[in-house]
Structure 1
Amino acid sequence: MPTDDRPGARIAQHRKLAGLTQRGLALKIGYSYSMVHQVEGGHKPASPEFAAACARALHVDVTTLTGQPYMTELQQDRLAELIRPIRESLDLYDLGADPDVTARAAPRLVAAADSLCEQVRAAEINKVARALPGVIAELTTAAYRTPATELWAALGSVFRTAHDVTVKLGFYDLSTIALDRMEWAAQRASDPVLAAVRQYMRGLVYHREGEHTIGLRLVDAGHRILAQGEENPASLAVAGQLHLGATVIAARAREADTVKTHLDEAKKITDRIGEMGHVHWLSFGPTNWAAHELSALTEMGRYSKAVEKAKKIAIPDSWPSSRRAHVLIDRGRSEMEIGRSEAALKSILKAREVAPQQTRYHPGARATVEGLIHQQRRTPDALGHISAWLGL
């Protein structure tokens, strides 16, 4: 790899290895030659959707181009040392009950699984990562010793939390393993809603890699799983969330009609059930609908419209910090793209205040700050500080 470790330099390196010119890569990914030239030259940031398009065209994982996981910052935050225990806990799922583990009573284990979900939504990543392997080991042992639907469902929940943590820290390969374990537990719990949540999250994995066709197929698979069970508020909330996931996946592919179709379907469900914040710890409802509309507009490059919509989103106090930060990062990205540098910096600083660890490892936050640096003739202290904090 080149000594310059920016995403743009990584893209240039892998483009050359693939035998492509900048114009050749531009044709493959549907961006202009000028955009490719500016990103590789360090004059524009590599947005998440641009990096995903390049990864798909160059047949590499998107993390190869973004440089994730960001090991220097992970080591500084004492998070790197927590990954191996999580990896081991996911790998040992099929060994049965651990004779060295004394599991708590089922109600306490279910409460522990719920607590981890709540904490990761509150963006307490370090705290969750430390507790996660132990809870997985206890629940796995308890479920093998006394098979019960509630224990298998709780185990599926902690595997979902493992996915959330590893995605936020940039270990996408490990997050995929966590989703496989989630399916394994969901089958034993006979829980179609949990299985459909897993398909939703799988769809977003492929979204990050720029594979929108596969992502949309996974969303459809989630709907088919839900159709096998009875309709209730929980299944409706997950169906709505599947539609919202599809809007972001389709937006990255610039399929505006598909985006509108799924937004409309999700809106029908929000009109029926309102806010549903505790269905497998999703945040489905009118607020999340508006947040996904903002994400879709940002993905499609409709930045002025995205900023206009962002101003109208009223986030309730009960909303989790992780979702609040995500909205602020999307807003900051759109503000940066239309030249509202001060507003964009305020949005990213607010995201750091709300969810510092999540913001530090979020590729969108990094791309926005990098873009702000290129726009400024003189770097304000606040921008310099957050740039150093992000490791740029």
Structure 2
Amino acid sequence: MALRGALTLQRAVAAGRLNRAEESYAYLRHARELADRIGEGRNDHNTEFGPTNVSLHEVSVAVDLGDAGLALRAAQAIDISGLSPERQARFGIDLAKAHAQRRQVDDAVSTLEKVLHAAPELFHTKPTVKQLVTDLQAMSPQPPEQLQALARELGLPEE
């Protein structure tokens, strides 16, 4: 069941990246049903499949589909304290993207600072982080110092 759930999540992500929202959300609902049957997250066959993993994917898919409101609402219900630093950072990147989609620059910057602290190697190597910082700079008439510090951290020009 965990393998089926993990594969269903991958289908949700793929459908989201193809902008097939209804299909993607249907896969997420099915994955949620499977996760609820399994109960708390387990690691059967290294899937880390369970309710928390489904919630993380809900946020990611909503961001991919440009549904920042749904992503931010879903994120509020997730307790990331038990996740690895890398998974916390990946979640943080998705959350920062959602804030950026809503033009909530300060919230996006604050979230990226947490990503930098949790997993500096991921922060420095993910192209999406550099693009996100660049986008935040572009949408800020006077970028806050915290954003400029993130840009310097990434070796980007300051705006």
State the TM-score, normalizing by the size of structure 1: 0.38
Equivalent of 1:354 in 108, 112, 118: 118
CA distance in structure 2 between the partners assigned to 1:282 and 1:359 by the alignment: 24
The 5-angstrom pairing of residues 247-326 of structure 1 reads: 247-315=12-80, 317-326=81-90
**1:335–1:343 contact (8 Å) kept in structure 2:** yes
The structure 1 segments of at least 4 consecutive aligned residues displaced by more than 6 Å after TM superposition are none
- Please tell me whether the aligned partners of residues 333 and 364 of structure 1 are also in contact (alpha carbons under 8 angstroms): no
SS across alignment from 1:243 = helix
CA contact (8 A) 2:41 2:52 kept: no
Aligned length: 156
Alpha-carbon separation, structure 2, partners of 1:334 and 1:373: 16
> Residue 255 of structure 1: CA displacement?
0.7
Q: What amino acid maps onto 2:58 in structure 1?
A: E
Q: How far apart, CA to CA, are the structure 2 residues paired with 1:307 and 1:378?
A: 25
Residues 390, 280 of structure 1: CA spacing in aligned structure 2 closer, same or farther, 3 A cutoff? farther
In 1: Cα distance, 2:46 partner to 2:38 partner: 16
Structure 1, gaps ≥5 residues long: 1-235
Counterparts of 1:282 and 1:390, CA distance in 2:
32
Kindly state the Cα deviation for residue 304 of structure 1 after the two structures are TM-superposed: 2.1
Tell me if structure 1 keeps the 8 A contact 2:28–2:54: yes
Aligned residue runs from structure 1 range 167-316, under 5 A? 236-315=1-80
Q: Deviations over 1:295-317 (max 9, x none)?
A: 111001111221222222222x3
Query: 1:328: how far off?
Result: 0.8
Question: Tell me, what secondary structure is at the counterpart of 2:44?
Answer: coil
Question: Which one has a bigger Cα radius of gyration?
Answer: 1
Higher RCO (CA 8 Å, separation ≥ 6 residues)? 2
Contact 2:41 2:51 in 1 (8 A): no
Once residues 268 and 308 of structure 1 are traced to their aligned partners in structure 2, the CA distance between those partners, rounded to angstroms, is 19
Cα distance change on mapping 1:322 and 1:280 into 2, 3 Å: farther
Whether the 8 Å contact between 2:9 and 2:54 is mirrored in structure 1 is yes
Q: State the TM-score, normalized to the length of structure 2.
A: 0.90
Displacement of 1:332 in angstroms is 0.4
